[in-house]
Amino acid sequence: MAYTISDIAEALGARALGASDILVQRVAEPAEATADDLALALNPKFADGIKEGKARAAVLWDGADWQAMGLEAAITVPRARFAMSGLTRKFDLGHGQKPGIHPSAVIDPDATLGVNVSVGPMTVIEAGAMIGDNAQIGAQCYVGIDVSLGAGAVLRDNISLLARVRIGENFWCHSGARIGGDGFSFVTPEKSHVETARETLGQEVTADRQSWVRIHSLGAVQIGDNVEVGANTTIDRGTIRDTKIGDGSKIDNLVQIGHNVVIGSNTLLCGQVGVAGSTQIGNNTVLGGQTGVGDNLKIGDNVITGAGTMVLSNVPSGRAMLGYPATKMETHIEAYKGLRRLPRLAKDVADLKKAILNRGSKD
C-alpha cells in the first residue's frame, strides 16, 4: 500500500509541509529509509540518521527544520508517541487472515455468528456462543459454551475463551491467551498450616498432612469494550461472582489475573504482573512489569507501581509505589540511597573507632 504525505498527515491530525503529494509505502528508521519510505525521527537525537538514509519525507518533532535536513516533505507532530499510534495503525499490514469460515472449523449449529465474521482453521465454536459482526477468529481457537464475543473482536491463534465468558466490542487478544479457566482455590477440612502461618505472621507453622480439596469456580469472566489481552496471559473465572475487567484496559503478555479480581477502566498491567484472587484495582492505574499483588487487597485509581514491586497491603489512589514490600516511590528511593551509603558509613565509623582507641592509648 502507498499513501501520500497529505493522507498521512490527515490521519494524524497534523500538518503536511513541502511536497505533500509524495507517495510512501512503509515507515522506516531514518538511517535505513529508502526513497519509498517515510522516515521516523520524532526526537532531535535521530536527526543525523536522516542524512545517512535516502528518505525524501519524514515525520518529525514539532518545530524541526526539515528543509535543513535535505527533505522534500515533512509532517511535524507535537506529541511524538501519540503520533506513533496513528502512524502504525495506518501502515499495519495485519496478519493475513482470509475472510470467511475455514472448512476445517467446527461450529455448533446453536452458535450465532454475526455478519462478516472470519473463522480460521481448526477452530471450535461451541453451542450458545454469540460472535459479533466483523469479528476475526484465528486458527486453532476455542470458543466455549455460551461465550459472548463483541463486534470487531480480533482473536489471534490458539486462544481459549471458556464457558460463559462475556467480552465487549473491539476486543484484541494475542496468541496463546486463556480466559475463563478455573480459579486456583483449594481448602483443607481443618485449619491448615498456611492459615496458621498467616494469622501469626509466620511465628507458628504447624505440621499438616491434610489433603487439599477443590473449590469449584461457578462465576465467569466479564471484559468490557476496547480491551487488549497479551500473549499467553491467563484470566481466571470467579468463584461465585465474575472476574471483571473494565473498558479500555490493556493487559500485557504473561500476566496472571486470579479469580474474583476486579480491574477498572483504562488500567494497564505490564508483562508478568500477577494479581491474586479477590483483589480490586481502580481506574487508570499502571502496574509495572513483574509487579505482584496479594489477595483481597484494594488498589485505588491512578496508582503507578515500578517494575518488580510487591504489593502486600492496600494502596490509596494517586500514589506511586516501588519495592518489596511496596512503599512510596520517593521513600523507597531514599532508603535505597541510604543502603548504598552503608559501606562508606561503616568505614567512617571504623576509622573513628580506630582514631579514638589510638588517642586513648597515648593518653
d(CA 150, CA 166): 8
Known catalytic residue at 95: no
Phi, psi torsion values for 235, nearest 5 degrees: -130, 115
Is the Cβ–Cβ distance between 242 and 259 less than 8 Å?
Answer: no
Segments in the chain forming alpha helices (H) = 5-12, 47-52, 80-91, 193-199, 329-362
114-140 as b/e, with b when 16 or more CB fall inside 10 Å? eeebbbbebbbbbebbbbbebbbbbbb
d(CA 360, CA 35): 81
d(CA 42, CA 332): 33
DSSP 123: -
With residue 257 as reference, give the H or E element that holds it: strand 256-257
Nearest to 256 by CA among 229, 225, 227: 229
The three-state secondary structure class of 293 is strand
The number of beta carbons lying within 10 Å of the beta carbon of residue 350 is 10
d(CA 143, CA 171): 14
Write the DSSP assignment of 78-129 as a string of letters. SSHHHHHHHHHHHH-----PPSSB-TT-EE-TT-EE-TT-EE-TT-EE-TT-
Strands 186-187 and 228-229: unpaired
Of 102, 174, 193, 259, the catalytic one is 259
Unique residue bearing C-alpha cell 481443618: 190
Is the Cβ–Cβ distance between 128 and 145 less than 8 Å?
Answer: yes
CA angle (80, 83, 87) in 5-degree steps: 135
**Catalytic residues, which ones?**
259
